[in-house]
């Protein structure tokens, strides 16, 4: 492992790539289809590939943080087509497990390794290098790449191919249900006319409390919908969960409710706001305003 390529220098990917570059004594080159993202990486001290083919052809390890299934699939296929046996491909994006399973078979047949390694924690944790990283695939390949993943956060080996993405779906299904419950509960409190800050102070140490509660409720109360984690990104994982549930022939009734709320946010132009903005759905249904901006 002498040369690392990082593909996808978006809001999170930029910081993830820089953390690897700064913490590893290895050559790291980055690439993105967006010129602005490329310039930001260059300005921060990163080294860029001249073109995407250079990254695919010359790097021993390909790390990718990409937005859609089509782009993820194409990138992995190109990394396999232009690579050599022994190459390690780490998909840090969020993908449907069945798509990763099919790609893993193709990689294995070519003598390469694909690790599905989705991350959780949002932009701030990407910058701080404290992301949760859920890694599925070959155990020996995980052990080899773990020092690189350590630069970006805390990697946990979850099992065979597809297990990392499945674990991420569980994370976001549960997180989505909690976020929608927070939105519903605080809209209910506002409609009932009780003081919202007092409600938060009284409940944060109770059964409902926890890191997500402490992070999102103040944003709801202050109507701070500047995205730390966008609803659009979370919604993609909810759609992936529904897709994989359909493949398995199971129902996800609570996840259906989460998707209903997120679909409303999408349809009404709020999907790029923070998850705290899910309260808008309940404000509309209950005809109430929750919190006060700027307080």
Which positions are annotated as active-site residues? Answer: 168
β-strands 131-136, 119-120: how paired? Answer: antiparallel
**CA separation (Å) from 73 to 31, 106, 145, 154, 172?**
17, 11, 21, 25, 22
CB-based contacts of 48, cutoff 8 Å, min separation 6: 29, 30, 31, 38, 41, 42
**Number of Cβ atoms within 10 Å of the Cβ of 75:** 22
**CA separation (Å) from 103 to 52, 114, 249?**
20, 8, 22
CA angle (155, 81, 66) in 5-degree steps? 40
Q: What is the 3-state secondary structure (H, E, C) of 36-67?
A: HHHHHHHHCCCEECCCHHHHHHHCCEEEECCC
**Considering all CA atoms of the chain, what is the largest pairwise distance in Å, rounded to the nearest integer?**
65
Q: How many Å is the Cα radius of gyration of the chain?
A: 20
CA dihedral defined by 267, 271, 275, 279, rounded to 10 degrees? -30
β-strands 113-116, 88-91: how paired? Answer: parallel
């Amino acid at each position: 492992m002498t040369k690392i390529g990082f593909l996808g220098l978006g809001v999170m990917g930029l910081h993830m790539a820089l953390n690897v570059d700064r913490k590893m004594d290895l050559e790291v080159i980055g690439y993105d289809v967006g010129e602005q993202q490329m310039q930001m990486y260059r300005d921060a001290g990163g080294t860029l590939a001249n073109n995407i083919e250079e990254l695919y052809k010359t790097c021993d390890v390909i790390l990718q943080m990409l937005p859609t299934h089509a782009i993820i699939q194409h990138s992995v296929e190109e990394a396999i087509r232009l690579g050599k046996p022994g190459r390690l491909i780490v998909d840090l994006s969020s993908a449907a497990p069945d798509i990763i399973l099919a790609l893993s078979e193709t990689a294995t047949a070519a003598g390469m390794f694909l690790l599905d390694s989705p991350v959780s924690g949002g932009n701030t944790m990407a910058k701080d290098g404290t992301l949760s990283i859920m890694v599925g695939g070959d155990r020996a390949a995980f052990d080899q790449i773990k020092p690189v993943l350590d630069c970006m956060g805390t990697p946990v080996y979850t099992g065979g191919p597809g297990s990392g993405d499945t674990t991420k779906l569980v994370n976001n299904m549960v997180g989505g249900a909690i976020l929608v419950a927070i939105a519903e509960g605080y809209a209910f409190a506002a409609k009932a006319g009780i003081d919202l800050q007092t409600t938060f102070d009284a409940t944060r140490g109770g059964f409902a409390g926890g890191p997500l509660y402490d992070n999102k409720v103040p944003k709801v109360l202050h109507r701070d919908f500047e995205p730390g984690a966008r609803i659009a990104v979370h919604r993609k994982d909810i759609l992936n969960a529904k897709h994989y549930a359909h493949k398995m022939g199971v129902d996800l009734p609570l996840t259906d409710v989460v998707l209903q709320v997120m679909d409303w946010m999408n349809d009404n132009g709020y999907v790029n706001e923070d998850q705290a903005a899910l309260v808008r759905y309940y404000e509309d249904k209950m005809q109430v305003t929750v919190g006060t901006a700027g307080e």
